[in-house]
Structure 1
Amino acid sequence: MKLKTSVFAGILAATLTPLAFADVTVGITLSSTGPAAAIGIQSRNAIDLWPKTLGGEPAKYIVLDDGTDVSKAVRNARKLTSEDKIDVLVGPNTTAAALAILDVLKETQTPMVALAASAAIVTPPDDPGRHWAFKMPQNDSLMAQVLVEDMVRKGFKKIAFIGYADSYGENWWKEFSNLAAGKIDVVARESYQRTDPSVTGQVLKLMAAKPDAVLIAGSGTPAVLPGKTLKQRGYKGVIYQTHGIGTLEFLQVGGKDVEGTLFPTGPGVVAKGLPDSNPVKKVASEFTEKYEAKYGANSATQFAGDAWGAYMVLDNAVKQALQQKAQPGTPQFRSALRDAIESTKELIVPNGVLNISAKDHQGFDDRARVMGKIEDGRFQYAAEK
């Protein structure tokens, strides 16, 4: 009788004990070295602040450096999926690497939350690889829209454009020129390589068109060169940049030559200056305070905010995926996690409000962009006038 009672008690205890899950494993590939290191380091700084749990369960983070090398990023993704059995991949920072990893996602059925910008990473979302791909940075179209609105509001009629001679510059040209059509006359277009030591020839051609403003479509420190050259050549018009400039290194390298530059940005970069009515201000400010408490005043960037937002997306999605009773480390959990990310609704992260769906694997709307300006060596909010 005692044996039966003991067995019954054991069964009852097992029934009442919450289901124990394995650790949720997150693989992360970042450009901590190489040309995109300024971006990758900002992402890594934010990731170092991630809590050690996801969805209330213990989490394991495996961080690898891809050296801003596409082939190494792919090797990292293959190692993380095959050897480390990750449940989700975060990163990479560059569009080329994210696109190259799509085949790995398709083969291993592993979701990815990229920290690179191009809409091509997630469009079309019904593509077999992109079915598993999501990304944090705003689409270029959303940022180009706020730029065009600002130019029109300021009464500019003629704009010149110079951008990288790669996918970043090409996509920005496509988005900007489409949105500018019928509103602004784009009077000149030039391009340059990220490693070019001089853009004097291109700048002289831009200035010859006598534009009211110039848009530079670059990212990180190589985006400094056209603006610096324009200033040195005596250009007096307004200089715009894209949200890709949001690194402290850009400010350091640019110095006085980038003062007055206007750019679109996520709210997290300029949280302190946002009006109280901004729906993102509370979350953005909380992140900024946490980040700057460790890394110093005015150190928060777009890329750090995106990395913190990735944690918030995963924390929210893991809670939902665990309800399916699938164990982390299994194909069933990866699938449940992908579906949960895709069902993210009204989630406020430092750079906007996410509503992800089967038709939109990015998910930001107009609440994810404001205009910023460089003033006194800092990224600041540019209030509409």
Structure 2
Amino acid sequence: MKPQSIRLTLPALLLAAGLAHAEVTVGVSISSTGPSASLGIPQKNTMPFLPETIGGEKIRYILMDDASDPTQGTKVARRFVTEDKVDIILGSSSVAPSIAISEVADESQTVQLAFSPIELKPGRGAWTYRLAQPVKLMADAVATRAQANGVKSIAFIGFADAYGETWLKEFTSAALAKGIRILATERYARSDTSVTAQVLKMMAAKPDAMLIAGAGTGAALPHTTLRERGYTGPVYHTHGAATRDLIRIGGKAVNGAILPAGPVIVAEQLPADSAPRKPGLDYVNRYEKQYGPGTRTQFGAHPYDAGLVLQRIVPVALKHAKPGTPEFRKALRDALESERDIVVSHGVLNYTAQDHFGFDNRGRVMLTIDNGNWKLLK
């Protein structure tokens, strides 16, 4: 596969001595084709919004498509570190290639800013940091809201894959802490066209509420089936469902759905003193001016947030080493863990050696669907 090299740089400026500034080279692996293209395409669209220069140095972005495939993700990452000599890697859009890239990041000691909330085995991921909120943070938000709404019991249905199982694990823990019992657990495949049998079992358990751990269009199927079968109670979703696809496919049936999301989804509705409001509005205004009203996604904002992180850590690293060196790559990692309160459209990041997610409660909001639109819940 041929790389698509995007040079989002200002014209080359020569120094008085006749030598050019060193470039900071950024490799970007995005799933713009394959099963995760719905995540990767808005991320690819966001790339022109990233900074062209930082700290007086040009930034060169090399953009490649990993096709949502972990094998291709490994190939892309190896090309980045062996041929392109990148200083940092951004991506991937989806879990499997992001995990594959993390292996190369560890081996080459190159910082990776992942766009997905990947969980890595103990002892791995020393060079991998996430720009997507951890499931644990979002599961706690759902459990907290459900408790506040008087929910004592819940039935769960989720994708029969890593996403669904991670949500079941984290929500089970969060629910237990809030005194909420899980009365039924069901699974379904992303490609399923019917979940009637699972829904009937959930309803037979007579829970106070339902939780659907799906994403995109796949999150709509259990919800619409519940309504078709006569269930009228509250339905909660996960942050993977915070897309217009849920509203488009679900229609009136998903009205009233409750779910967590990154703050950028409702940037205009955030309080004036909310830290992510300003960068969120900046991203939304840029993106929707280019691609139309309502086209924002929380996934598309991750590369934009990567640009904000780079603006904080590159100047710090430049004080210690020159781009293109192992010392500069280490300096970038040190800066990630020493810089405090990096404000992005999805929240506020404070990475440490122990915490490579960096988010706190400012990285989540709770929403409902109100007549086809997102509404921030206070």
TM over 0.5: yes
Aligned to 1:180: 175
* Corresponding letter in the other structure for 1:36: S
* Counterparts of residues 274-313 of structure 1 (less than 5 Å): 274-313=270-309
Classify the secondary structure of the residue corresponding to 1:172. helix
How far 1:204 moved relative to its partner? 1.0
Aligned to 2:194: 198
Deviates more, 1:79-88 or 1:346-355: 79-88
In 2: Cα distance, 1:332 partner to 1:93 partner = 28
* Corresponding letter in the other structure for 2:41: I
Aligned to 2:5: none
Q: 2:128 aligns with which of 103, 124, 133?
A: 133
- 1:219 equivalent to 2:243? Answer no
Deviates more, 1:49-58 or 1:149-158: 49-58
Aligned to 1:88: 88
Aligned to 2:332: 337
How far 1:310 moved relative to its partner? 1.1
Tell me the alpha carbon deviations over residues 159-179 of structure 1, each in whole angstroms, 9 at most, x when there is no partner.
111111111111111110011
Aligned partners of 1:220 and 1:249 also within 8 Å? yes
- 1:267 equivalent to 2:266? Answer no
How far 1:211 moved relative to its partner? 1.7
In 1: Cα distance, 2:279 partner to 2:48 partner = 18
In 2: Cα distance, 1:248 partner to 1:22 partner = 42
- 1:354 equivalent to 2:354? Answer no
* Counterparts of residues 95-106 of structure 1 (less than 5 Å): 95-106=95-106
In 1: Cα distance, 2:129 partner to 2:19 partner = 29
Aligned to 1:380: 375
Deviates more, 1:300-309 or 1:166-175: 300-309
In 1: Cα distance, 2:32 partner to 2:20 partner = 35
Classify the secondary structure of the residue corresponding to 1:177. helix
* Corresponding letter in the other structure for 1:280: P
How far 1:312 moved relative to its partner? 0.6
Aligned partners of 1:135 and 1:361 also within 8 Å? yes
In 2: Cα distance, 1:368 partner to 1:239 partner = 22
* Corresponding letter in the other structure for 2:23: D
In 2: Cα distance, 1:58 partner to 1:248 partner = 36
Aligned to 1:5: none
How far 1:258 moved relative to its partner? 2.3
In 1: Cα distance, 2:332 partner to 2:107 partner = 17
Q: What is the aligned-residue identity percentage?
A: 44
Aligned to 1:69: 69
* Counterparts of residues 360-375 of structure 1 (less than 5 Å): 360-375=355-370
Task: Indicate how the Cα distance of structure 1 residues 255 and 19 shifts in structure 2: closer, same or farther if over 3 A, else same.
Answer: farther
Q: 1:235 aligns with which of 206, 210, 231?
A: 231
- 1:165 equivalent to 2:171? Answer no
Task: Indicate how the Cα distance of structure 1 residues 235 and 332 shifts in structure 2: closer, same or farther if over 3 A, else same.
Answer: same
* Corresponding letter in the other structure for 1:210: K
In 2: Cα distance, 1:311 partner to 1:151 partner = 35
- 1:35 equivalent to 2:30? Answer no
- Structure with higher Rg: it is 1
In 2: Cα distance, 1:359 partner to 1:245 partner = 29
Deviates more, 1:337-346 or 1:251-260: 251-260
Q: Which runs of 5+ in 2 are unaligned?
A: 1-14
**TM-score scaled by length of structure 1:** 0.89
In 1: Cα distance, 2:92 partner to 2:147 partner = 35
Task: Indicate how the Cα distance of structure 1 residues 48 and 224 shifts in structure 2: closer, same or farther if over 3 A, else same.
Answer: farther
* Corresponding letter in the other structure for 1:206: M
How far 1:240 moved relative to its partner? 1.0
* Count of matched residue positions in the alignment of Structure 1 and Structure 2: 363
**TM-score scaled by length of structure 2:** 0.91
Aligned to 1:11: none
Deviates more, 1:294-303 or 1:248-257: 248-257
Aligned partners of 1:112 and 1:133 also within 8 Å? yes
How far 1:21 moved relative to its partner? 3.7
Q: Which runs of 5+ in 1 are unaligned?
A: 1-14
Classify the secondary structure of the residue corresponding to 2:210. strand
Task: Indicate how the Cα distance of structure 1 residues 245 and 295 shifts in structure 2: closer, same or farther if over 3 A, else same.
Answer: same
How far 1:37 moved relative to its partner? 1.0
In 2: Cα distance, 1:117 partner to 1:18 partner = 44
Deviates more, 1:43-52 or 1:83-92: 43-52
Classify the secondary structure of the residue corresponding to 2:286. helix
